[in-house]
Amino acid sequence: MKKIVCESYKDMCRVAADIYTGQLKEKPNSVLGLATGSTPIGLYKELIRRYEAGELDFSNAQSFNLDEYYPIDSTHHQSYAYFMNEQLFDKINLSKTQIPSGAATDPMAECARYDEEICKAGGIDLMLLGIGHNGHIGFNEPATSYHVGAHLVSLTESSINANSRFFGADEKQPTEALTMGIGHIFSAKKIILLISGAAKAEITRKLFEGMIHTDVPACLLLLHPNLTIIVDKEANGE
Catalytic residues: 67, 134, 136, 141
Piece of 14-22, 36-44, 96-104, 180-188 that binds ligand GLP (CB under 6 A): 36-44
Q: Does 135 bind ligand GLP (CB under 6 A)?
A: no
Answer whether 129's CB lies under 8 Å from 191's CB: yes
For residues 130 and 211, give the distance between their C-alpha atoms in angstroms, rounded to a whole number. 20
- Residue 71, preceding bond cis, omega within 30 degrees? yes
x-marked contacts with ligand GLP along 49-88 as a string, rule CB under 6 A:
-----------------xx---------------------
Cβ closest to ligand GLP, residue 23 vs residue 163: 163
DSSP letters along 189-224, please?
A: SEEEEEE-SGGGHHHHHHHTTSS--TTSGGGGGGG-
The number of beta carbons lying within 10 Å of the beta carbon of residue 39 is 25
67/125 with CB nearer ligand GLP:
67
Interacting residues with ligand GLP between 164 and 223 (CB under 6 A): none
**Residue 91 neighbours by CB under 8 Å, 6+ apart:** 48, 51, 52
CB of residue 55 to ligand GLP, shortest distance in Å: 25
Residues 144-163 that bind ligand GLP (CB under 6 A): 159, 163
Least gap, CB of 196 to ligand GLP (angstroms): 7
Distance CA 145, CA 99 (A): 24
Instruction: Count the residues in the chain.
Output: 238
Please report, as a single letter, which amino acid is at residue 117. Answer: E
| Minimum CB–partner distance for residue 90 and ligand GLP (Å) | 20
Please, what is the minimum distance in Å from the beta carbon of residue 59 to ligand GLP?
26
Nearer to ligand GLP, 39 or 63 (CB): 39
Nearer to ligand GLP, 4 or 95 (CB): 4
Provide, rounded to whole angstroms, the least separation between the CB of residue 22 and ligand GLP.
23
Over the Cα atoms of the chain, what is R_g?
A: 17
CA 162, 85, 175, 138 dihedral sign is negative
x/- track of binding to ligand GLP for residues 115-134 (CB under 6 A): ---------------xxx--
Of 238, 67, 228, nearest in space to 163 by CA: 67
Binding site for ligand GLP (CB under 6 A): 35-39, 66-67, 130-132, 138-139, 159, 163
